[in-house]
Structure 1
Amino acid sequence: MKKRILTAILCLTVSAGLSACGSNSSAPQTPPSGETQNANAAETTQPAGDPVSGGVMTISLPASPKNLDPVKYTGTYESQIIDTIGDTLVEYNSELTEIKPSLAKSWTVSEDGLTYTFSLRDDVYFQPGKFQDGRKMTAEDVKYSLERSKEKSAMNRLDMLDHCEVISDTEIKCYLAEPNAVFLTALTDAGNIIIPKEEAEGWGDDFGAHLVGTGPFALETFELDQQATLVRNDKYWAASPYLDGVIYKPVSDGNQAVNALRTGEINLATSLSGEAVKIARDDSSVKLMEMPGLHIAYIYFNQVNGPTADIKVREAIIKAVNVEELTAGVYQYQEAKPASLPLPPGSWGYDSSLEAETLAYDPEGAKKLLAEAGYPDGFDMDIYISNTESRVKMATLFQAYLKQNLNINVNINTSEWGTFSEIGASGKADVFAMSWTWYPDPYFFLNKIFHSDAIGSLGNGQGFNNPEVDKYLDDALLTTDQAKRAELYKKALAVIVKQYPGIFYANENVNWGVSPNVQGLVQRADGKVKICTSDINVWLSK
């Protein structure tokens, strides 16, 4: 009887979620459980005829980017644009299996792991801006950019860097405070693109609306909540882009994005979810690119303030939610698989044996725990989410479970990404829900979400602080032996799971809708859209 009542509530709340907000999931990616072997294999659009130059490619994003300053960005919406405007010293290949040269031609690492020496290309030029006319990039720019990231990054993206030393215009040494196995991987992040000092300091707080880099396309205009317009950089060092330009537009409604593909208003719709996936899948005029990604969607409890600071309350809330039903309710078109751990199965640190350690759905046990914690009659609680379709549906279902099973009144607070990310980092949210996607290295999930050093950033805005976890995570950075690192991350995971920090409910796919005239596009498990690189050059057929 209770199951039938719950099913009825789920049907009602899914309808409510759909009518409340027609938008897409707040981040790309995910490897479904049990599909880890090919989780990072790239899918490519097949070229039709010889490449042609010209045309402007329009790409939709599921939410509006707030700021394009590399040290200020917090979401994939910004990074998609930043990656197209700028370059990093090194980058991942499309399969995310190895790091390859970019602005750095080569590098060496000292025996003690503390010094990285990079040899830079000598044919790289910045895009012209207001404060410089397109001058050559030098090692001084690398020093400025990386040290700026270390000092100002909203996500602590280069916290392992101590300082940089310029040896010559084309050689630079980066010194770490201690050995760190993920330094090169951290350098591939959009937050660490190389920028000219004149532009960053000349624009000051407005640099995010006037970003200048060395990438294949230059920012022409950035209209908040409207679009970012990019034009071809004719002096791009890696290749001559086929496209004249790229436009990024926020389109929060997935169905609207697919319709825009049909009419030719856009060429690529990123992060599709919900009914939009089915529409794209069934429409022969639109190509749906789907692949497992590196992604977790989760509900994160405040570890310091309010009722959820009590581990019994966190345990009760987890037991009160049927994760499989919740995931089926949010993702009705196989866009995701139920998750259980705060690390995607596509990561080499994933430990499937810990899945059995996660809490099962147990409403009666949940009520008992909540009463033991001193809340037999429930309490009021706020959950904060971005204003995207899958988050609204999830929050509505979460609200229904907690009301029915624990008499907890959940107030749902939605906002655009910029406001949400500020609330999430503040430590003041009772509960917030979002998704996280990055690289296969567990560091980019576990350290950024659970290490005490990340408290105050969006990743660990809820104040998770466990010395044993910190020790495992720190030790994992002191060796480059991946097997040893994996064991340490698995030990950290085991401790994290027993602290009941949140509900890790879904691993989403990377779902892109593509118009048939887009050629040479490569889909990646990290969700990055690469338009022009040394081995990728997207073009539009006539």
Structure 2
Amino acid sequence: MLFGNVRHSVTFAGAALSVLLGSALISPVHAKTLVYCSETSPEGFDPALYSTNSTWDASSKPVYNRLVEFRNGTTTVVPGLAESWTISEDQLTYTFKLRSNVKFHTTEYFTPSRNLNADDVVFSLKRQLDKDDPWHDYIPGVTWEMSSGMGLTELIKDISKVDDSTVRIVLTAPSAPILADLAMDFASIVSKEYADHLRAESKMAQLNEQPIGTGPFQFVNYQQDAAIRYTANPEYWGGKQKIDDLIFSITLDQTTRLQKLRAGECQIASYPAPADVEMLKADKDLTVLEEPGLNVAYLAYNTLVPPFDKVEVRQALNMAINKKAIVDAIFQGMGQVAKNPLPRMRRPRPIDFSVDLRAVK
């Protein structure tokens, strides 16, 4: 049963500060270090393994790129590591032409010997789909929850290298959202050369601890549950960022994040308490940005257990529950009652959970 679409809020200290992670838009120009008070620690730094925003904020956004990307603030698909692509007449074959001279990060723990090529793309995607791939189970107990939950194992028939700068993806059936799927965080492109190096050294878990990508920021270090440090990628194909250092200050408590923001210990604080949003908007020293979230809150019934195996019971519960009252009480003005399983956006994109539509007939 669906409850509501939830809005996300981010608070900035200083009305003149505008930040969009993963792009070159950061002002004022003279800024050298940006401190972001994040709400929790990442589960790891291989974004394909996870599905939480906090993990993606710390991995796929600053460190990696994808074949295609979402234009900032929208769900419009634009070129990423692939500068162009073609689609066959039967809509089953997608051929991507990669950008030239895209460099992987050079760090204290790895120095790449080559630029991005098709091998990296094939490796990054096939390891998620092929159970026989040596990297498929490299983190025990962790599954590729996004790619598997979205049915890509059944949808993607083959991923192959045509030449160093060309990748071909063949589908089992036409799929309207496949390009949007490939723009999502789990489809981030990692370095096959780095992965091969780690496997040879029997250090495969390091891929999830010390990432190497092509993104705007390079990973420096992570202090467990305290801070993550990045430095601007000097050879980023999209142009060097206007800040030199990016720091994630991990602060679990919402009140403490706000205190740090007001004390100048960070310039951005994420996810304030819904009850605090109006108060924050009234503070002339702060800027609050809001955006409808690409998510839906829901209550799931186990339809294998009586009485929830009867559609009439689910329908009765769905009609009896005052969903607006729950949304108002929990989200306090930061949500709205959902009408369907897809968020109210310009163009819906896939979500990674199943909804029992029979319960809302």
Q: TM-score normalised by the shorter chain: which range applies? A: 0.7 to 0.9
Task: Confirm or deny: 8 A CA contact 1:61 1:77 kept in the other structure.
Answer: yes
Relative distance call for 1:244 and 1:45 in structure 2 (3 A) is closer
Relative distance call for 1:48 and 1:97 in structure 2 (3 A) is closer
Relative distance call for 1:48 and 1:133 in structure 2 (3 A) is closer
Partners in 1 of 2:27 and 2:268 — Cα distance? 20
**Structure 2 match to 1:108:** 86
Match of 2:121 among 142, 148, 154: 142
Relative distance call for 1:89 and 1:222 in structure 2 (3 A) is same
Does residue 80 (structure 1) correspond to residue 57 (structure 2)? The answer is yes
**Structure 2 match to 1:371:** none
**Structure 1 match to 2:145:** 154
Partners in 2 of 1:316 and 1:341 — Cα distance? 18
Relative distance call for 1:307 and 1:263 in structure 2 (3 A) is farther
Kindly state the Cα deviation for residue 197 of structure 1 after the two structures are TM-superposed: 1.9
Partners in 2 of 1:236 and 1:78 — Cα distance? 22
- Match of 2:353, as an amino acid? I
**Root-mean-square deviation (Å):** 2.8
**Structure 1 match to 2:240:** 240
Kindly state the Cα deviation for residue 61 of structure 1 after the two structures are TM-superposed: 2.9
- For structure 2, the 5+ residue unaligned runs are 9-16, 20-24, 131-135, 137-143
Partners in 1 of 2:193 and 2:163 — Cα distance? 20
Question: Is the partner of 1:60 in helix, strand or coil?
Answer: strand
Count residues in correspondence.
321
Does residue 449 (structure 1) correspond to residue 353 (structure 2)? The answer is yes
Task: Confirm or deny: 8 A CA contact 2:119 2:192 kept in the other structure.
Answer: no
Partners in 1 of 2:42 and 2:327 — Cα distance? 27
Structure with larger Rg = 1
Task: Confirm or deny: 8 A CA contact 1:115 1:176 kept in the other structure.
Answer: yes
Task: Confirm or deny: 8 A CA contact 1:294 1:347 kept in the other structure.
Answer: no
**Structure 2 match to 1:192:** 187
Relative distance call for 1:50 and 1:311 in structure 2 (3 A) is closer
Match of 1:62 among 32, 39, 43: 39
Partners in 1 of 2:296 and 2:211 — Cα distance? 30
**Structure 2 match to 1:342:** 341
Partners in 1 of 2:272 and 2:310 — Cα distance? 37
- Match of 2:345, as an amino acid? G
- For structure 1, the 5+ residue unaligned runs are 1-26, 31-43, 349-439, 451-459, 465-495, 502-542
Aligned-residue identity in percent: 26
Partners in 2 of 1:100 and 1:319 — Cα distance? 42
Does residue 180 (structure 1) correspond to residue 175 (structure 2)? The answer is yes
Higher helix share: 1
Does residue 124 (structure 1) correspond to residue 102 (structure 2)? The answer is yes
Partners in 1 of 2:186 and 2:247 — Cα distance? 20
Partners in 2 of 1:48 and 1:196 — Cα distance? 27
TM-score normalised to structure 2 length: 0.79
**Structure 1 match to 2:11:** none
Relative distance call for 1:207 and 1:29 in structure 2 (3 A) is farther
Kindly state the Cα deviation for residue 238 of structure 1 after the two structures are TM-superposed: 0.8
Partners in 2 of 1:28 and 1:132 — Cα distance? 42
Residues 488-527 of structure 1: pairs in structure 2 closer than 5 A: 496=357, 498-500=358-360
Relative distance call for 1:305 and 1:219 in structure 2 (3 A) is farther
Task: Confirm or deny: 8 A CA contact 1:58 1:267 kept in the other structure.
Answer: yes
Kindly state the Cα deviation for residue 324 of structure 1 after the two structures are TM-superposed: 1.5
Q: Deviations over 1:221-271 (max 9, x none)?
A: 233432322111111111111111212233333232222211111211222
Partners in 2 of 1:207 and 1:107 — Cα distance? 29
